Amino acid sequence: MSRSDVLVTAEWAEEHLGQPGIVFVEVDEDVSAYDKGHLAGAVKLDWKAELQDPVRRDFVGREQFEELLSSKGISNDDTVVLYGGNNNWFAAYAYWYFKLYGHRDVRLLDGGRKKWELDSRPLTEEATQRPRTAYRASDQDTSIRAFRDEVLASIGQKNLVDVRSPDEFAGRLLAPAHLPQEQSQRGGHIPTAVNIPWAKAANEDGTFKSDDELRALYAGAGLDESKQTIAYCRIGERSSHTWFALHELLGHRDVQNYDGSWTEYGSLVGVPIEKGV
Amino acid sequence: MCGAPAQDAGLDQTLPASVDPAKETILQGRVVHTGERVAGAYVRLLDQSGDFTAEVVSSATGAFRFFAAPGRWTVRALSPVGTGERTVDAGVGFTEAQIELS
């Protein structure tokens, strides 16, 4: 797999808008962003209302995912190009989620909304209508999803990569600083985790750094490529960004995203926590 | 789990009801360019080492807001009309910072 199989440039995207077989999908933390302007023909996916179970904390099941994608007019054979705000955090999360349910051809728009807007490329408020499909999903591929017991068993064994900002890693902040800081979980990080903030994998315009830069980043931070890796953040969206860099761009084989992340781990009774750097 | 509170809440007023400003370090301001407020600028908060801590998009009135911790922070804005940055010392409560783009 090469970079161009999983990542498309804004230029490529603009040339391929409206092309049959390619569906652009916007996923944002700010779920109102799409309504204020989106790529022509793009559909909106609400990471919270549509990708989370409405009652318990988990993802929607396979059948609900099939219904969701069918209702959006996405076919199994479509190339899905995801993009969004926040440097593609939630688009990367959706990418990983689509892979979890076995979608074959998923790509990220490099730089997401930010790069698109900084380039002053066109956005539209026109609603997108796509005919309903009969989407079929696979069972979840849990080789890319880590759960809390695996994470606890991985302390000192696998690479644990905490991709939050240094202040969150140290326990000085409990959430990224665009969110209020009063939170119920304890501050700090999982013992033996290394802090490699997701932002170090991105340029200021939101695009990913080059493969060489990424390799140097993770090797320099002490990531042992011969070991399995689990990435985590606060709710699993920034760690999807790092999962994408490690698994999809660099081709590391065994990389999991711990979507429970700090909001789960930092609330568990009795687990070890480290603070400071 | 929720999205960022609306950025155009008007600075110094209407924080989300769940937020206690006596407990938060709130760093907020507007992005301006030649006297005009700039909407849609990407505003990022960098820590003392220059590491990314958060990013928001300025509101229709150019406003941005962060919930940080006491300390020194750099706010950097990026927009098609230019870039600008400012370093501020923030404590618990409100700290205001205007970012001029050039």
Q: Closest-CA residue in chain B for A195?
A: B51
CA nearest neighbour of B98 among B40, B44, B45, B32? B32
Report how far residue A162's alpha carbon sits from residue A142's, in angstroms, rounded to the nearest whole number: 20
Q: Report, in this order, helix, strand and coil percent for chain B, each rounded to 5.
A: 0, 50, 50
Pull the structure tokens for residue A35: 């309504």
Is residue B5 classed exposed, middle or buried when 0-12, 13-18 and 19+ CB atoms within 10 A define those classes? Answer: middle
Q: Which among B3, B40, B68 has the least Cβ separation from residue A177?
A: B68
Report how far residue B72's alpha carbon sits from residue A65's, in angstroms, rounded to the nearest whole number: 44
Report how far residue A141's alpha carbon sits from residue B93's, in angstroms, rounded to the nearest whole number: 46
Q: What is the model's pLDDT at position A13?
A: 98
pLDDT of A236 over the 80 cut: yes
- Tokens 């023909």 correspond to A41
Residue B6 in domain: no
Pull the structure tokens for residue A203: 């340029």
At A55, is the pLDDT very low, low, confident or very high (cuts 50, 70, 90)? Answer: very high
Contact between chains at A117 and B67 (C-beta distance less than 8 A): no
Interface size between A and B, measured as CB pairs under 8 A: 82
DSSP strands (E only) in A75-206: 79-83, 106-109, 159-162, 194-195
User: pLDDT tens digits for A195-228?
Assistant: 999 999 999 999 999 999 999 999 999 999 899 9
Residue B46 domain boundaries: 25-100
Instruction: Tell me, yes or no, if B20 comes closer than 8 A to chain A by beta carbon.
Output: yes
Q: What is the model's pLDDT at position A135?
A: 98
Torsion of CA A133, A29, A230, A197, to 10 degrees: 140
Query: Could you tell me if residue A72 is left (phi over 0), alpha (psi between -120 and 50 degrees) or otherwise beta?
Result: alpha
Contact A188, A171 (CB under 8 A): yes
At A180, is the pLDDT very low, low, confident or very high (cuts 50, 70, 90)? Answer: confident
Average pLDDT over residues A255-271: 97
- Angle (CA) A195-A221-A272 rounded to 5° is 35
CA nearest neighbour of A98 among A78, A112, A118? A78
Domains identified in chain B, total number: 1
Pull the structure tokens for residue B85: 């940055």
DSSP strands (E only) in A152-250: 159-162, 194-195, 229-232
How far apart, in Å, are the Cα atoms of A55 and each of A52, A59, A100, B24, B70? 8, 10, 21, 30, 36
Please give the domain boundaries of chain A with CATH numbers for all domains. 3-139 (3.40.250.10), 144-265 (3.40.250.10)
Q: Closest-CA residue in chain B for A260?
A: B1
Residue B42 in domain: yes
User: pLDDT tens digits for A59-86?
Assistant: 999 999 999 999 999 999 999 999 999 9
As a whole-number percent, the residues of chain A with pLDDT over 70 amount to 100
pLDDT of B2 over the 70 cut: no
Q: What is the model's pLDDT at position A176?
A: 87
CA distance B61 to chain A (A): 15
Residue B4 in domain: no
pLDDT of B13 over the 80 cut: no
Any idea what the CATH number is for the domain that residue B31 is in?
2.60.40.10
Average pLDDT over residues B72-79: 96
DSSP helix/strand/coil, A4: helix
At B11, is the pLDDT very low, low, confident or very high (cuts 50, 70, 90)? Answer: low
Q: What is the model's pLDDT at position B8?
A: 46
Instruction: Tell me, yes or no, if B45 comes closer than 8 A to chain A by beta carbon.
Output: yes
DSSP helix/strand/coil, B30: strand
Residue B57 in domain: yes
Report how far residue A235's alpha carbon sits from residue A263's, in angstroms, rounded to the nearest whole number: 6
Report how far residue A23's alpha carbon sits from residue A18's, in angstroms, rounded to the nearest whole number: 8
Q: Which among B42, B51, B67 has the least Cβ separation from residue A199?
A: B51
